[in-house]
Amino acid sequence: MPTHGMPRRSTATCRSAVTRRSVLAAGAATAATATALTNAPAALAAAPTLPNGTSKDKVLVVGMDGLRHDRIDAADAPHLRSMMANGTYGTSLLYSGPMAATSSGPGWSTIATGVWPDKHGVRDNTFIGKNYGRYPGFLARLAQVRPELSTYAAVDWKPLDSQGTVTAGADAKLVLDGDADGYPGHDATIANETESILRHQNPDVLFVYFGNTDVVAHGSGTGRRYLDAIAVQDAHLGRLLAAIRSRPTYPAERWTVIVATDHGHVDAGGHGGSSIEERRTFILAQGPGIAAGARPIDTRLVDVAATVFEQLGITPDPAWGLDGKPVQERTDDPFDTLRPSLTGRVDETGIPASVLGFTHTAPGGWSVINNAMGTGGVGEWRGWSFATDEFWSRTHRDQWRELNVRSRGVFAVADSDEWDDKANSGGYDSTLVTPAYDVSGRSSVRLDFTTHYRQEGGQTARILASFNGGTPAVVRSYTSDVVSQPQSVSVPVPAGASSVSFRFRYTGANNWYWVIDGVRVTASCLGWRAPVHRRGGAPSAHRTSHYAYGRSPLHGRAQADRILAHRHGRCPHP
């Protein structure tokens, strides 16, 4: 890709990325300068000339560093609020160590690449271990797959350029050094230049970054000055939105705007650790096909990149390994149907009473067998429970519960460690049972799910399959840690079997835990697949057709025979 705009106005001073926190106190000293620059005319920024855009589908991603979403309501932020009313607003929690710190390097890497730190490799602000070659930022990916798109990036935290996180692949970029020169002025310059480009040029995809919210929180916490900083950034956002609407070609364009943050802050200012306040993130997206006023519980920070691709009509190659999904796509996971029945704490003490995040009520068709469970213990965790990330991970920090990144919304959890925190007798022994799925005429059945498992001592975690209600047989056992990974178990269907149900049996005694989410069961015939159940949703003719036949290598008569065989509920002849 030609680079039409080179890095400009960067100072020669090259501060190490890891010193960011130490320079943040400078924020107060630059405030006066900032005010002046904020009011400077747009002419201040002489925008680079981008290649002329080629797409009617256009995306603006606005990154706001260290923006605690629970403080937006208290701020003068009409544009963020307007986007919440007209778009989809999903809040979620981040990982923490040892997967990655709740700091800017991992956060922006997660946003840009659409994968979690165990893939992109950035665990702190040293960026040591980064793997952008395999997992590039979305602008770099677009440069590979849609080089005709006109793209622009602007950042004033320099590592987002020098490390290759955000600006890589952009046709033009503005790189400023907020650590050296102060963020308020540079944020304003980014707003000016981006506004100019939106008004006078034809960009397709833009990724701009504002840093001052983070600086102010470090300097003075999340109080009045922080709210003022949010208001300034909201005004920047408003100017960009107005510039988009003012485009002469706006009626013929389909714009998506996404706002996201890389981490939260403790009330007193600061982040990197595992507190809920530091782990808070959000995605706010408005655009075609994105529901207005939606507050889904199943979005996560990796969804920004997936949403960018979706809005541009790009289907990610599975080889990209994305962890995200578009914000408009809901999981139809059976556990997520429990959201209305979630309740507050019972025996737990560290979870605010206002957090409604657990239930023992299983989804329809599912059940929990607790007749081998001991008595007593912490009520929330007596046997398999269904819980949210915030509720479960608040029970105890820094025991890897924060690493459950590939669960979404409500998940199933068996936690002998937390259960044991109150007087009890007997051990932990609980079994989660799926509904029965139709496998008539099928030769194989596959169970897909995500798991987060931490091993200790004599703890056991086994998956069993029962055909036609017969004796369950073990099909998988876990004996070592599995840190939030997708899993797939395929089991042959015995001749004549018409149904299968799976069981997740966990036993322990003050050991760790086992999390299950995203359960899907798919039955298939030799060489092709026909689902009887997908992500817990009802079988759908459309999906069945798509899955069963869309991937079949067969054509013509052979294909027709197989469709017929499928309709008759038996495997076709090979």
Choose, by CB under 5 A, the member of 38, 104, 125, 385 that binds Zn ion: 104
Element (H, E) at 454: strand 444-454
What does residue 19 show for φ and ψ, rounded to 5 degrees? -90, 5
Of the candidate spans 61-69, 425-433, 440-448, 492-500, the one that interacts with Zn ion by CB under 5 A turns out to be: 61-69
Of the candidate spans 58-66, 127-135, 245-253, 425-433, the one that interacts with Zn ion by CB under 5 A turns out to be: 58-66
**Closest alpha carbon to 216 in 25, 409, 6:** 25
What the block records as the tokens of 66 is 């260290």
Going residue by residue from 487 to 506, which x/- string records binding to Zn ion, judged by CB under 5 A?
--------------------
Of the candidate spans 97-105, 120-128, 388-396, 413-421, the one that interacts with Zn ion by CB under 5 A turns out to be: 97-105
CB 376 → Zn ion: shortest distance, Å? 44
CB 261 → Zn ion: shortest distance, Å? 8
CB 467 → Zn ion: shortest distance, Å? 51
Nearer to Zn ion, 18 or 355 (CB): 18
Q: Is the peptide bond before 106 cis (omega within 30 degrees of 0)?
A: no
Q: Is 336 in the site for Zn ion (CB under 5 A)?
A: no
- Cβ within 8 Å of residue 408, ≥6 positions away: 297, 298, 299, 300, 331, 333, 336, 517, 518
**Closest alpha carbon to 504 in 372, 416, 387, 413:** 413
Q: Is 66 in the site for Zn ion (CB under 5 A)?
A: yes
Q: In sequence order, what DSSP letters do the residues of 439-453 get, joined into one string?
A: -TT-SEEEEEEEEEE
Q: What is the DSSP letter of 334?
A: G
Nearer to Zn ion, 195 or 262 (CB): 262
Helix axes of 138-145 and 104-113: crossing angle, nearest 10 degrees? 30
Amino acid letter at 318?
P
Amino acid letter at 174?
L
Nearer to Zn ion, 60 or 94 (CB): 94
- Answer yes or no: are the C-beta atoms of 240 and 58 closer than 8 Å: no
CB 103 → Zn ion: shortest distance, Å? 6
**Closest alpha carbon to 25 in 187, 230, 179, 224:** 179
Of the candidate spans 37-45, 101-109, 273-281, 464-472, the one that interacts with Zn ion by CB under 5 A turns out to be: 101-109
Q: Is 124 in the site for Zn ion (CB under 5 A)?
A: no
Nearer to Zn ion, 55 or 103 (CB): 103
Nearer to Zn ion, 217 or 483 (CB): 217
- Rounded-to-integer distance, Cα 190 and Cα 179, Å: 15
Q: Is 187 in the site for Zn ion (CB under 5 A)?
A: no
Nearer to Zn ion, 62 or 530 (CB): 62
Nearer to Zn ion, 195 or 278 (CB): 278
Pairing of the two strands 460-467 and 473-478: antiparallel
Q: In sequence order, what DSSP letters do the residues of 154-186 get, joined into one string?
A: EESSTHHHHTSSSSTT-SEEEE--HHHH-HHHH
What the block records as the tokens of 558 is 């052979």
HSE-CB of 164 using CA atoms within 13 angstroms? 15
Nearer to Zn ion, 111 or 191 (CB): 111
Nearer to Zn ion, 66 or 178 (CB): 66
Q: Is 65 in the site for Zn ion (CB under 5 A)?
A: yes
CB 218 → Zn ion: shortest distance, Å? 5
Going residue by residue from 231 to 270, which x/- string records binding to Zn ion, judged by CB under 5 A?
-------------------------------x--------
Residue whose beta carbon is closest to Zn ion: 104
CB 65 → Zn ion: shortest distance, Å? 4
What the block records as the tokens of 365 is 């068709």
Pairing of the two strands 151-155 and 172-175: parallel
Of the candidate spans 37-45, 171-179, 207-215, 463-471, the one that interacts with Zn ion by CB under 5 A turns out to be: 207-215
Query: Binding-site residue total for Zn ion (CB under 5 A)?
Result: 5
CB 101 → Zn ion: shortest distance, Å? 10
Nearer to Zn ion, 178 or 409 (CB): 178
What the block records as the tokens of 81 is 């609020």
What the block records as the tokens of 290 is 């994105």
Nearer to Zn ion, 159 or 572 (CB): 159
Q: Is 214 in the site for Zn ion (CB under 5 A)?
A: yes
Q: Is 524 in the site for Zn ion (CB under 5 A)?
A: no
Nearer to Zn ion, 19 or 246 (CB): 19
- Answer yes or no: are the C-beta atoms of 151 and 170 closer than 8 Å: yes
- Rounded-to-integer distance, Cα 33 and Cα 181, Å: 10
Of the candidate spans 62-70, 89-97, 310-318, 496-504, the one that interacts with Zn ion by CB under 5 A turns out to be: 62-70
- Rounded-to-integer distance, Cα 141 and Cα 511, Å: 43
CB 214 → Zn ion: shortest distance, Å? 4
- Answer yes or no: are the C-beta atoms of 531 and 446 closer than 8 Å: no
CB 379 → Zn ion: shortest distance, Å? 38
List residues binding Zn ion (CB under 5 A): 65-66, 104, 214, 262
